[in-house]
Structures are given as structure tokens and as C-alpha cells.
């Protein structure tokens, strides 16, 4: 099944939805207007059930096929924007100052709405499709909140699928891989407490800046000396705050940053080594290091059977040479990870063409790819999660 004629017919209308959402970006869980827009559309399509308020502001709709029993598939899109001042100069640019759809979630939501409209019209599939519109992908854990709110059990979801656009991948192409696709995204803050005093008498102090500097250096050995060299882990110190004047050794120093990993093992290793390094270097100097560990998104892992199905479905829609199945994993995070922890599933990446990168103020979702995205969702539904 190539790109659907119906999807081409719908493209202009769906592009209108996409640009409307682009003009009205909202952040995190505060996606009330977006969720209301999604709810209104889903109801107008005649979905069997539309549920709001899941995971605070998430929206879910159920569409039953007419071809008998089968699995229940969850298709997920994200609705939230980013705190960025838009620089696209487009006539549909953000009307909400300082907020912008710079990750294409406006496009993901619109394509899944288009697919919902098509599937509710045609019902040419077995089993059930549950379309999932989540808030707060950009750091709030909206996916986790929807799962904790009973998303999977309440709707009887057997498998779950996601799609994200990818700048730099040509229009008309998809990429995917089995295994880890996006990294875990934990954050840390280390507070080194020494003893402050006069800069001219350092012997009477315990200098948290010198100790903190050693900790920053030693943290580099997590990636270079602790982790398996063919695995992936990133340790980035992004903040170091200390001191108030040139002649005072401060009492404490604060070091902040992020650790990202592509396996649960490396994720655990990163945390354990960070604690050991910071606490023991501080202790060696008679200081203390207090560690605040903020758990972020887990590693987003594509299950191999589901990733294979996605690749085969994408090949049928886009053509045999249009799907890269060995995509490089990325050290960014994705809270779709909570959904593929809860159920087997996979996320595919759809080429956004030669545009500015994700989270860049000049980024814009490419409306040309809307028919392809809708057709992919339709084909996945019509095979009921199988490639045939």
C-alpha cells in the first residue's frame, strides 16, 4: 500500500490544523487549548470513545475496526511545545510569545488526527486502534503520567507505537532501529561543602573550588574508564557555581549536569560512579559532597519484533529503499520510553527534510510529509500490527 489517495485529499485540511496548532503553542501539562482542539476533532470523526484528562491533560480516543477481533494498538503523539522564541518568520508563527513548536509535536498531533479521521471513516481493520495524545513530553513526563493513570489497562492496549520527525532525513524516508533509540536523561547536582575563609590564607580553609574542579575532572573517567568502550554514556557538567569575590574562598560549590545512557546498565553505572567519585574526592580533602539525583526519562527501547513490523510497514508505504533500519541511536531523551516499558512497541522516525534541527528557533515541521505520516499509521492499523 503506497501513500493513500485519501491522505493526499486530506493534506490541505490537516496542514491547516498543523498551522493552527503551530500558532498556538502551549507548554508541558498546560496544553488545554490544544487538548480541546484534539478532543473536538476526535468527536467530530465519530470515534467510539473519546476520553480527556488522562495524565492531567492527555486525550485518548478508541476506534474499533470492522474486520473482526484482533489486537488493540496504541498510536501515540505528543502535544506540547518549547520555551523558545520563534524565528521562522512564517505567517503562522507562534502567537504566544516565548513559546514555540520547535520539535514538531504540532505535526505529530496533526498527522495522528488525520489518521484517526481516516480510520474512523473506513474501519478497514481488525481489532482496535487507540489514539493517544500526550502532554508534557518536553521534560514533564506526560507519558509516565498517562501510563500511571491506567492508559494501558483501561484501554486494553497490547502494543504501542510512536512516530517522531527527524530533520536531516530526506522527505519520503523513515529510519528506525531495534533496541535503544533514545537515551536516559538523568540530572545531578553536587554540593561540595568545605570551609570558607580569606584567599590569602588557604591553609585555614577547605577550598570547595579546588575540590569541585577535581570532581569535574574525575567525572570524565566514567565514560573513558568505567563504561564499556563500545557502549554509550554521556557525562556533561553544565553548571559550576561558587564564590562571591576575588579575595574569599567560599564555603561551598555547586556542580550540576546530566548523565545520559543507552542501556539501563550504563545508567546505573553512571549514578553509582558519580556518587563514589564526588563523595570520596570530597572526603579525601576533608569536605563533604551532597548529591541530589533527579531521575529523568528511562532509555527508550524499541522492541525488536515491533521495530521490524514498523520497518516493513514503512517500506510498503514509502518504498523498499526508503527505510533505514540501522538508524544511529541518539543521546536525547523521549518519554515514549515509559510506554515501551509498559507494553511492547517501537518508535519510527520520519524524515523532515533539510530543515533546521529540533529545538532550534528556525525549525519548522515540514507539511509535505503529512500524507506519508497518515498513510504509515493507516497501514500499521490495517495490518493490525503485522506487516502483511
Q: Which residues bind Ni ion (CB under 5 A)?
A: 103
Residue 27 or 103 with smaller CB distance to Ni ion: 103
Residue 175 belongs to what H/E stretch? strand 174-175
Residues 211, 251 contacting (CB under 8 angstroms):
no
Q: How far is the CB of 105 from Ni ion (least distance, A)?
A: 6
- Cα(first)–Cα(last) distance of the chain, in Å? 10
Residues 255, 240 contacting (CB under 8 angstroms):
yes
Residue 182 or 188 with smaller CB distance to Ni ion: 182
Residue 282 or 347 with smaller CB distance to Ni ion: 347
Q: How far is the CB of 366 from Ni ion (least distance, A)?
A: 14
Residues 180, 329 contacting (CB under 8 angstroms):
yes
Q: How far is the CB of 133 from Ni ion (least distance, A)?
A: 14
The size of the chain, in residues, is: 388
Residue 103 or 223 with smaller CB distance to Ni ion: 103
Residue 103 or 262 with smaller CB distance to Ni ion: 103
Residue 38 or 103 with smaller CB distance to Ni ion: 103
Rounded distance, CA 82 to CA 26, Å?
8
Residue sitting closest to Ni ion (CB): 103
Q: How far is the CB of 74 from Ni ion (least distance, A)?
A: 18
Q: H-type helices in the chain, by residue range?
A: 5-23, 32-44, 105-122, 142-148, 151-154, 208-221, 264-284, 304-318, 337-342, 370-382
Residue 138 or 306 with smaller CB distance to Ni ion: 138
Q: How many CB atoms are located within 10 Å of the residue 318 CB?
A: 21
Q: How far is the CB of 278 from Ni ion (least distance, A)?
A: 32
Residues 143, 342 contacting (CB under 8 angstroms):
no
Rounded distance, CA 6 to CA 8, Å?
5
Q: How far is the CB of 174 from Ni ion (least distance, A)?
A: 16
Radius of gyration of the chain (CA): 24
Rounded distance, CA 72 to CA 155, Å?
8
Rounded distance, CA 60 to CA 71, Å?
17
Rounded distance, CA 177 to CA 41, Å?
33
Among 327, 337, 215, residue whose Cα is nearest residue 264 = 337
Residue 50 or 103 with smaller CB distance to Ni ion: 103
Amino acid at each position: 500500500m503506497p501513500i493513500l489517495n485519501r491522505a493526499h485529499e486530506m493534506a490541505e485540511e490537516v496542514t491547516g490544523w498543523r498551522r493552527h496548532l503551530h500558532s498556538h503553542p502551549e507548554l508541558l501539562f498546560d496544553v488545554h487549548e490544544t487538548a480541546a482542539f484534539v478532543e473536538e476533532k476526535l468527536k467530530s470523526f465519530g470515534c467510539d470513545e473519546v476520553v480527556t484528562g488522562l495524565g492531567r491533560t492527555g486525550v485518548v480516543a478508541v476506534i474499533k475496526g470492522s474486520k473482526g477481533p484482533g489486537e488493540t494498538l496504541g498510536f501515540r503523539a505528543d502535544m506540547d511545545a518549547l520555551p523558545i522564541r520563534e524565528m521562522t518568520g512564517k505567517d503562522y508563527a507562534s502567537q504566544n510569545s516565548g513559546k514555540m513548536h520547535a520539535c514538531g509535536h504540532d505535526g505529530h498531533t496533526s498527522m495522528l488526527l488525520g489518521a484517526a479521521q481516516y480510520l474512523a471513516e473506513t474501519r478497514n481493520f481488525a481489532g482496535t486502534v487507540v489514539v493517544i495524545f500526550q502532554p508534557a513530553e518536553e521534560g514533564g513526563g506526560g507519558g509516565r503520567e498517562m501510563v500511571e493513570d491506567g492508559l494501558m489497562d483501561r484501554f486494553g492496549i497490547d502494543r504501542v507505537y510512536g512516530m517522531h520527525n527527524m530533520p536531516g532525513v530526506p522527505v519520503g524516508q523513515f529510519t528506525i532501529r531495534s533496541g535503544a533509540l533514545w537515551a536516559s536523561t538523568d540530572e545531578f547536582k553536587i554540593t561540595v561543602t568545605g570551609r570558607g575563609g580569606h584567599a590569602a590564607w588557604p591553609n585555614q580553609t577547605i577550598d570547595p573550588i579546588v575540590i569541585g574542579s577535581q570532581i569535574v575532572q574525575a567525572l570524565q573517567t566514567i565514560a573513558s574508564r568505567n563504561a564499556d568502550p563500545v557502549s554509550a554514556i554521556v557525562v556533561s557538567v553544565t553548571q559550576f557555581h561558587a564564590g562571591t569575590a576575588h579575595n574569599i574562598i567560599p564555603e561551598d560549590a555547586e556542580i550540576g549536569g546530566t548523565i545520559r545512557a543507552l542501556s539501563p546498565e550504563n545508567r546505573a553505572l553512571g549514578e553509582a560512579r558519580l556518587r563514589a567519585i564526588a563523595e570520596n574526592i570530597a572526603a579525601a580533602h576533608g569536605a563533604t559532597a551532597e548529591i541530589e539525583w533527579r531521575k529523568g526519562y528511562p532509555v527508550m527501547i524499541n522492541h525488536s519484533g515491533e521495530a521490524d513490523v514498523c520497518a516493513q510497514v514503512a517500506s510498503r508505504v514509502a518504498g523498499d529503499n526508503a527505510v533505514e533500519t540501522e538508524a544511529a541511536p541518539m543521546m536525547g531523551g523521549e518519554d515514549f520510553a515509559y510506554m515501551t516499558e509498559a507494553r511492547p512497541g517501537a518508535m519510527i522516525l520520519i524524515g523532515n527534510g533539510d530543515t533546521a534541527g529540533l529545538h532550534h528557533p528556525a525549525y519548522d515541521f515540514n507539511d509535505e510529509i503529512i500524507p506519508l505520516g497518515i498513510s504509515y499509521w493507516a497501514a500499521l492499523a490495517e495490518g493490525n500490527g503485522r506487516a502483511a
